[in-house]
Amino acid sequence: MVMNGLRMPNQTGLRGRRQAYNRFYRYNPREWLPNLVDWRKNGVLTPVRNQGKCGSCYAFGALGALEAYHKKRTGKLVNLSPQNIIDCTWRYGNNGCNGGFMVLVFRYAQSHGIIAESKYPYVFTARPFCKWRKADVVATNRGYFEIRDGDELGLKHAVAKYGPVVVGISGRQRSFRFYKSGIYSSNSCTESSHAVLIVGYGTHPTHGDYWIIKNSWGTRWGVKGYGYMARNKGNMCRVASMGSFPI
């Protein structure tokens, strides 16, 4: 059994005040962008992992974006600790294995920094205490940007210019849970429930535009843990919703 774990802002302590924390990403819609971007080929992604029955996708997705940001900034690729997020961001509004919100991870990382997985291993459940130590911090960020809801061009621009972007998609439907290959689309995915990392985009000569997503359901899901989602198809499965990335 795999778990979703994305909780909307009013469920994570922001209570409708998301606008106050937004730093919406601005871009030039006329700027040239490459037709194909695939960050898997640039050495900025850590291996696909499995969140198990813990609703911690928000932590895996956000940290995936932060890992890539840290690699691009420092040249060091580090597996960051989802357990650090699960155990230590309750007062930021997250709910351990019962879900959370990605920008709250970036806010925590900005104020505290994140510990490496090797120092704070994942245990598939929330623990009642936080083991964060300042001396163990290996990565941080200065802030974050959010993509305006449904803005696929903005998401494309951010992925091309900055790197991987974490988004909230509809992930409860059976066809997505048992996805194996191809460009995924569905008429029954309308609610953001699961966080994944957008690591690229492209266009198939027959099947059209797609996003490349990195999931946190292990390598048996999809194509060795990755998948392809329809792009420019009415914000398929809300793929361009709740997007954010660290800066």
Chain center to CA of 167: 5
> Which entry of 94, 95, 215, 235 is annotated as an active-site residue?
215
> Which entry of 95, 97, 194, 235 is annotated as an active-site residue?
194
The yes-or-no answer on residue 215 being catalytic is yes
The yes-or-no answer on residue 57 being catalytic is yes
Closest to 51 in 3D by CA, of 38, 64, 65, 67: 64
The yes-or-no answer on residue 235 being catalytic is no
> Which entry of 54, 57, 88, 97 is annotated as an active-site residue?
57
Closest to 164 in 3D by CA, of 5, 50, 37: 37
CA distances from 79 to 26, 100, 114, 214, 223 (A): 29, 20, 10, 15, 21
CB-CB contact of 102 with 168 (8 Å):
yes
The CA-based dihedral angle spanning residues 191, 198, 166, 75, taken in that order and rounded to the nearest 10 degrees:
170
What is the Cα–Cα distance from 136 to 222, expressed in whole angstroms?
A: 34
Chain center to CA of 123: 20
Query: What count of other Cβ atoms lies within 10 Å of the Cβ of residue 164?
Result: 30
Tokens of 40: 């898997």
Query: Which three-class secondary structure state does DSSP give residue 98?
Result: strand
Alpha helix stretches (DSSP H) within the chain = 18-21, 57-74, 82-88, 102-111, 152-161, 174-177
Active-site positions read: 57, 194, 215
